[in-house]
């Protein structure tokens, strides 16, 4: 069997139709939209918006959001076609297997670990930090002792104490993993409650903050092209074309997650119509909220504020300083961020377990990853292994280690999904397509170009980490996966 042998389409469609032995179909189109919004609105909106305004684009960060949204929408149209045609768990991994062969499928499956597992761990660490903010600033109680909410590789700024283990991060990863084992519909219900909470708070900020916009903060809307050097000595293109493009790459992180909707295809009641609605619907909702939110935030406070006083908690700081009488709203933002982080972790863990489930069904990972719970019909062993992996990372590794690896991994996956649509239109033109991407190959090509431009905005260190990660993946593939692949038995 060659490295580029494709998984036959009839096998994929047989798996999609064999729902009696597989995952339970419990999700509606509305639940998928909520899953997408749950994954998208999180750290990106509340942290990356201010960072992009400070470092790259000033008030024109809104244009950066539009560019990032266009890139995601182009990829989203391709995801919608593939997920409605091949309604199988596994997302980009499954689509690549059907169009580009096993080696590329392994590459993208391994690459998705960066987006889902590493992303979940990183957000878990941020959840721990904001839990302390909630305890101190909202509930006015003592914070969790430093040593019990930081990794062993971190020490207090005053040098008096070292971290031992990040227990809150481990707790939230464990709690949400157990919820996923209990069932996807239960997880979707909890996610829906969280989504209602955080979207309501985002809308409150937009409505109440609109009256505090100072037009002077929006002039010039696109700053003159210069270079901004941050406190760490790193140079950023600020203003002009490259500044806006840099902002797009920065805020792209805020859109990561909508593709996780496609990993739940095998658990959706009517995937051929629900998947496009879930993917494109969640993107549309979040894009509108993001643009309005960025417009209000950059109108409330000047760029210099985000460079100096703002920092990680820029939204809370801006409300506290510039929206007199709305201190309660700043506290609600802390609650929204915690809720946002929780739903992001939930959907990332869901996506990772379903990718591992699909890879295991194909023999590229051990069989245990596709074993279903006899009662709950969820891949519980995969969830438990992912709990251990993500939990160890969250408990013992500092959150800034992975940098922008999550973004580069996701952009790479988006590009391959766009290419997969073009290939599948040529190789299997008669495949029933409930949703068809318009203007093929133009839309997929534009998706590849837009995502490629955003990748160019990421530093060489992230490319180096990506290549190192892929090298580890090749060792596993040639050492285990290639020899155990089920494709060689189906020839």
Judge contact between 161 and 147, C-beta under 8 A.
yes
Q: Are strands 226-229 and 235-238 parallel, antiparallel or unpaired?
A: antiparallel
Of the candidates 376, 387, 388, 379, the one whose C-alpha atom is nearest the C-alpha of residue 360 is 379
Distance CA(286)–CA(301), nearest Å, equals 22
Verdict on whether the full-model pTM lies above 0.85: no
**pLDDT, position 217:** 96
φ and ψ at residue 219, rounded to 5 degrees: -125, 130
pLDDT value, residue 193 = 86
Q: What is the Cα–Cα distance from 302 to 323, expressed in whole angstroms?
A: 13
**Encoded tokens for 126:** 């941020």
Residue 377: the pLDDT is 85
Residue 128 CA to residue 99 CA, distance in Å, equals 41
pLDDT at 20: 46
CA distances 468 to 127, 267, 462, 463, 465, Å, are 28, 34, 10, 9, 5
Q: So what's the pLDDT on residue 403? A: 46
Low-confidence residues in the chain, pLDDT < 70: 1-2, 15-22, 43-44, 89-90, 232, 310-313, 399-405, 457-459, 461, 489-491
Query: Which pLDDT value is given to residue 61?
Result: 93
Structural contact between residues 109 and 361, judged by C-beta atoms closer than 8 angstroms: no
Burial environment of residue 98 by CB neighbours within 10 A (0 to 12, 13 to 18, 19 or more): buried
In the prediction, which pLDDT does 147 show? 93
For residues 32 and 258, give the distance between their C-alpha atoms in angstroms, rounded to a whole number. Answer: 10
Q: What is the pLDDT of residue 17?
A: 59
């Amino acid at each position: 069997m060659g490295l580029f042998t494709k998984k036959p389409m009839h096998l994929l469609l047989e798996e999609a139709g064999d729902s009696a032995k597989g995952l339970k179909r419990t999700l509606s189109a509305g639940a998928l939209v909520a899953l997408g919004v749950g994954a998208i609105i999180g750290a990106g909106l509340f942290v990356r918006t201010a960072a992009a305004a400070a470092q790259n684009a000033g008030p024109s960060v809104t244009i950066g959001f539009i560019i990032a949204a266009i890139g995601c929408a182009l990829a989203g149209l391709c995801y919608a076609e593939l997920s409605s045609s091949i309604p199988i768990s596994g997302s980009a991994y499954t689509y690549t297997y059907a169009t580009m062969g096993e080696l590329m499928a392994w590459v993208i499956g391994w690459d998705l670990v960066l987006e889902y597992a590493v992303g979940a761990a990183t957000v878990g660490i941020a959840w721990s930090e904001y839990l302390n903010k909630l305890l101190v600033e909202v509930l006015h109680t003592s914070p969790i002792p430093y040593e019990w909410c930081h990794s062993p590789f971190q020490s207090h700024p005053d040098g008096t104490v070292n971290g031992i283990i990040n227990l809150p991060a481990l707790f939230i990863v464990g709690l949400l993993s157990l919820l996923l084992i209990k069932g996807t519909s239960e997880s979707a219900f909890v996610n829906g409650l969280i989504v209602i909470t955080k979207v309501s708070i985002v809308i409150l900020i937009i409505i109440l903050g609109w009256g505090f916009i100072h037009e002077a903060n929006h002039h010039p809307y696109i700053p003159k092209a210069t270079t901004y050097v941050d406190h760490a000595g790193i140079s950023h293109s600020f203003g002009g074309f490259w500044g806006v493009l840099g902002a797009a790459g920065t805020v792209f992180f805020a859109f990561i997650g909508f593709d996780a909707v496609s990993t739940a295809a095998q658990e959706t009641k009517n995937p051929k119509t629900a998947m496009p609605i879930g993917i494109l619907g969640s993107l549309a909702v979040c894009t509108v909220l993001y643009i309005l939110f960025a417009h209000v935030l950059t109108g409330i406070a000047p760029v210099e504020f985000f460079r100096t006083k703002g920092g990680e908690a820029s939204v809370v700081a801006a409300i506290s300083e510039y929206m007199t009488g709305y201190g309660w709203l700043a506290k609600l933002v802390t609650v929204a961020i915690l809720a946002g982080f929780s739903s992001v972790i939930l959907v990332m863990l869901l996506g990772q377990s379903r990718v591992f489930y699909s890879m295991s069904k194909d023999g590229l990972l051990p069989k245990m990853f596709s074993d279903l719970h006899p009662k709950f019909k969820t891949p519980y062993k995969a969830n438990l292994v992912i709990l251990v992996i993500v939990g160890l990372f969250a408990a013992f590794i500092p959150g800034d280690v992975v940098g922008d690896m999550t973004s580069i991994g996701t952009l790479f996956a988006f590009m391959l999904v766009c290419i997969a649509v073009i290939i599948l239109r040529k190789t299997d033109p008669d495949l029933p397509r409930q949703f068809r991407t318009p203007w093929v190959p133009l839309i997929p090509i534009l998706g590849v170009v837009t995502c490629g431009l955003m990748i160019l905005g990421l530093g060489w260190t992230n490319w180096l980490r990506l290549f190192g990660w892929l090298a580890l993946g090749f060792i596993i593939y040639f050492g285990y996966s290639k020899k155990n692949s089920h494709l060689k038995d189906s020839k």
